[in-house]
Amino acid sequence: MNIFKLYKNKFSEILLSNNYQCNFSKLTVEPPRDPAFGDLAYNAPLILSSNLKKKPLEIGSDISLLIKNNFSEFESVELVKPGFINLKLKKDFWFNFLSAFGDNKDMLILEKKNINIEYVSANPTGPLHVGHCRGAIYGDVLANLLNFVGNKVTKEYYINDYGNQIHMFAKSVYARLLEINEKVPFPSDQGLYPGDYLKDIAKNLINKNVIQNLSNYDAIKDQIGTMAMNEAMLMIKNDLFSLGIKHDVFVSEKELVSRNLVEKTIEILREKNCIYEGILAKPKGNENEDWEPRSQLLFKSTDFGDDIDRALKKSDGTWTYFANDVAYHAYKLERKFDKYINVLGADHAGYLKRLKACMDALSNFTSDFECKVCQLVKLYKSGEPYKMSKRAGDFITAKELVEAVGVDAVRFMMIYRSNDSQLDFDFDLVTDKTKDNPVFYVQYASARIHSILGKVKFNEKDFDKKNLNLLNTDVEIDLIKKLSLWSKCLEVSSKNLEPHRIPYYLYDLASSFHSFWNLGKENSDYKIIENKDSNLVQARIFLLNKILLTLKSGLGILGVTAPKSM
RNA sequence: GCGCCCGUAGCUCAGCUGGAUAGAGCAUCGGUUUUCUAAACCGAGGGUCGCAUGUUCGAAUCAUGCCGGGCGCACCA
């Protein structure tokens, strides 16, 4: 239950029934900046004043009175200077709140949506590297979050298993096959994929013993390409698995092409008058010597907010990558989702507008399509930038990262910053077992609670909830109030697609808990289980259970474990 | 030159889509342990929210223009 939203709605009803008119969406009920002001701050007098042409404080006294007369749960209703109404809830309210507290799963949205989220979509030419990790985890956590609050989510991966890069990939694997079988040195000057993992792929192909006629490349190149790509996809799925990621749907570009979906989609755009033959201007500031004016089949993406129109056909007459991608997005639309999310890396941010343009064109502006861009990750080791070797192909893989620091740390830290900000990832910090390491700090709270729960018998069914009013001290009430922010956190995170708010909330909750825990050291009244009053012990265990429930839910969304001991 | 992102404490970043005296962590300084997990807690100092206009009751938040940093910029994917 989001109490802020609840009271916003309740107050709006009261205003309406008393003939107050305004833009109700501008009214807010929020926790005040300073807890001394109370539990809720209502801004209605400020918003209404311009409508009614009266001073906020004048209007405020009327509204305060309405609230006092209609609600009994407020200890105080106070009208203050610019025009806020500060409300303080009685302790009984918080005991009731705690008594009914759940994990908020499926509770938060009225409109449940069928959502498609595409993320990772790394090329099937090798394992995932560190650069892929952030988008992969962001997409995955976002999917978990949207699912948690009640949506139906389809996690999708688009496989670029078509086009020139696959030819290069097949050639590269072929060169490795020759290297292994015929001792032909691997050529370094042909732009082939250099990574060592190609040797593994080649070895696997040899072990399967299905490639005949190794000397005739043209005869076997398609076979090699397909098999090598399957090997690479296995690597990728394996890497994703080690990151805790599992997609629901894999869509193959090759398959879309073979179903003639590209031609069909371009025809649809042509009927909508979005296609023409034209010449693009030379981009300024880009000293490309090979540039020459060229007449091409173009998509009129400028009609849909893009900066320039985009090429659909290459000079050799084949479709561009973008043309295939338009077809892919038509295929997404065909499957009729309520919302489409696409997670891209910063290096593909320039691609965003044309994707949005093609979705708008194909759906006549009816599709709810949102691209989220993850900025770059900078690696550090003990505070020093950790440079990857410039030698091509020598990159840190996702798997190596997970093996070095553990999947919990990778997932937590990758989501710990807003996706719009660059992220510093320090190898050493995330493996520290101190409070400097936020992953540890939150998990430690879980371990501490488990440690207590193992020492006391507690059964929620036998617990008399009337005893919750023994949680009478400010710190205990503050902990309950902290729990009330969880649903707000979920709501804001999912509405704005900003999962980074979750680890922040969990850190905050863990901090309040650690603080409470330590009070027992100076004042034995605050000891949780070594306490004479057994009803109080039970009430505190009830509270700890709810804190743990929240930690588990939050960490669950992040895909991070909530350990029982550490 | 154009597009996207960022600019908040010495450092790394939050800031609930316009609210009250701008918050955390690290770092610095000082305190707490015969322990229900000190792998923790408590306290102190530290700010022209890059700069400038504008919008209004009210701006770190919105708009415009600068300055600085990152990413990208015809037929690759």
Average pLDDT over residues A417-426: 92
CATH 3.40.50.620 domain extents, chain A: 120-248+375-431
Confidence of residue A107 (pLDDT cuts 50, 70, 90): low
- Least confident piece of the model among A4-13, A159-168, A185-194, A393-402: A393-402
Strand partners, A343: A372
Average pLDDT over residues A125-132: 90
A106: left (phi over 0), alpha (psi -120 to 50) or beta: left
Contact A490, A148 (CB under 8 A): yes
**Strand B, nucleotides covered by protein (CB < 7 Å):** 1-7, 12-17, 19-27, 32-33, 35-42, 56-57, 70-77
Confidence of residue A522 (pLDDT cuts 50, 70, 90): confident
Whether the beta carbon of A451 falls within 7 A of nucleic chain B: the reply is: yes
Whether the beta carbon of A47 falls within 7 A of nucleic chain B: the reply is: yes
Model confidence pLDDT, tens digit, residues A330-381: 999 999 999 999 999 999 999 999 999 999 999 999 999 999 999 999 888 7
Cα–Cα–Cα angle for A66, A20, A2, rounded to 5 degrees: 65
Average pLDDT over residues A446-466: 93
Strand partners, A329: none
Q: Are strands A249-252 and A152-159 parallel, antiparallel or unpaired?
A: parallel
Contact residues for A460 (Cβ-Cβ < 8 A; gap 6+): A542, A545
Q: Are strands A84-89 and A423-426 parallel, antiparallel or unpaired?
A: unpaired
Whether the beta carbon of A291 falls within 7 A of nucleic chain B: the reply is: yes
Whether the beta carbon of A441 falls within 7 A of nucleic chain B: the reply is: yes
Q: What is the pLDDT of residue A104?
A: 77
Sheet of A84-89: strand order equals A29-30, A40-42, A84-89, A74-80
Average pLDDT over residues A85-102: 95
Q: What is the DSSP letter of A436?
A: T
Secondary structure percentages of chain A, helix, strand, coil, to 5:
50, 15, 35
What topology is assigned to A438-558 in CATH? Answer: Isoleucyl-tRNA Synthetase; Domain 1 (1.10.730)
Which residues of A in 347-366 have their CB below 7 Å from strand B's atoms? Answer: 347-353
Q: What is the pLDDT of residue A130?
A: 87
Q: What is the pLDDT of residue A23?
A: 83
Contact A388, A131 (CB under 8 A): no
CATH 1.10.730.10 domain extents, chain A: 438-558
Whether the beta carbon of A412 falls within 7 A of nucleic chain B: the reply is: no
Confidence of residue A394 (pLDDT cuts 50, 70, 90): low
Percent of chain A with pLDDT over 90: 77
3-class DSSP state of A30: strand
| ipTM at complex level | 0.95
Q: What is the DSSP letter of A303?
A: G
What topology is assigned to A3-89 in CATH? Answer: Gyrase A; domain 2 (3.30.1360)
Q: What is the pLDDT of residue A391?
A: 46
Whether the beta carbon of A35 falls within 7 A of nucleic chain B: the reply is: no
What is the H or E stretch that residue A245 is in?
none
Cα–Cα–Cα angle for A326, A236, A173, rounded to 5 degrees: 90
Task: Specify the nucleotide whose C1' lies closest to residue A282 (CA).
Answer: B74
Q: What is the pLDDT of residue A51?
A: 80
3-class DSSP state of A86: strand
User: Which of A362, A351, A365, A368 minimizes the C-alpha distance to A269?
Assistant: A362
Of A284 and A372, the one with more pLDDT: A372
Number of other CB atoms surrounding residue A395 within 10 Å: 17
Amino acid in the structure at residue A45: P
Q: Quote the CA–CA distance of A43 and A101 in Å, as a whole number.
A: 27
Q: Quote the CA–CA distance of A240 and A246 in Å, as a whole number.
A: 7
Residue A285 confidence (pLDDT) above 80 = no
Which ranges in A306-373 belong to alpha helices (H)?
321-334, 352-363
Q: What is the DSSP letter of A220?
A: H
- Least confident piece of the model among A145-159, A278-292, A458-472: A278-292
Whether the beta carbon of A379 falls within 7 A of nucleic chain B: the reply is: no
Average pLDDT over residues A529-543: 94
Q: Quote the CA–CA distance of A482 and A542 in Å, as a whole number.
A: 15
Across chain A, mean pLDDT equals 92
Strand partners, A423: A377
Q: Quote the CA–CA distance of A6 and A4 in Å, as a whole number.
A: 5
A348-353: long-range contacts, CB 8 A cutoff, minimum separation 24:
A348/A373, A349/A373, A353/A301, A353/A305, A353/A306, A353/A307
Of A310 and A52, the one with more pLDDT: A310
End-to-end CA distance of chain A: 32
Residue A108 confidence (pLDDT) above 80 = no
Structure tokens at A328: 């892919």
Q: What is the pLDDT of residue A392?
A: 46
Confidence of residue A436 (pLDDT cuts 50, 70, 90): confident
Task: Specify the nucleotide whose C1' lies closest to residue A537 (CA).
Answer: B36
Q: What is the pLDDT of residue A390?
A: 44
Contact A342, A389 (CB under 8 A): no
Q: Quote the CA–CA distance of A134 and A512 in Å, as a whole number.
A: 29
Confidence of residue A252 (pLDDT cuts 50, 70, 90): very high
Average pLDDT over residues A420-436: 85
**Residue A163 CA, nucleotide B76 C1', distance (Å):** 10
Q: What is the pLDDT of residue A428?
A: 81
Q: What is the DSSP letter of A525?
A: G
Length of chain A: 566
Residue A287 confidence (pLDDT) above 70 = no
Architecture of domain A120-248+375-431: 3-Layer(aba) Sandwich (3.40)
**Residue A229 CA, nucleotide B77 C1', distance (Å):** 15
Whether the beta carbon of A496 falls within 7 A of nucleic chain B: the reply is: yes
Model confidence pLDDT, tens digit, residues A181-236: 999 999 987 888 888 899 999 999 999 888 888 889 999 999 999 999 999 999 99
Strand partners, A74: A89
Distances (CA, A) of A199 to A89, A196, A348: 67, 6, 29
Confidence of residue A389 (pLDDT cuts 50, 70, 90): low
User: Phi, psi (5° rounding) for residue A382?
Assistant: 50, 45
Residue showing tokens 């309040």: A512
Cα–Cα–Cα angle for A288, A293, A294, rounded to 5 degrees: 115
**Residue A284 CA, nucleotide B52 C1', distance (Å):** 29
Q: What is the pLDDT of residue A388?
A: 60
Q: Are strands A84-89 and A74-80 parallel, antiparallel or unpaired?
A: antiparallel
Model confidence pLDDT, tens digit, residues A146-183: 999 999 999 999 999 999 899 999 999 999 999 999 99
Of A1 and A257, the one with more pLDDT: A257
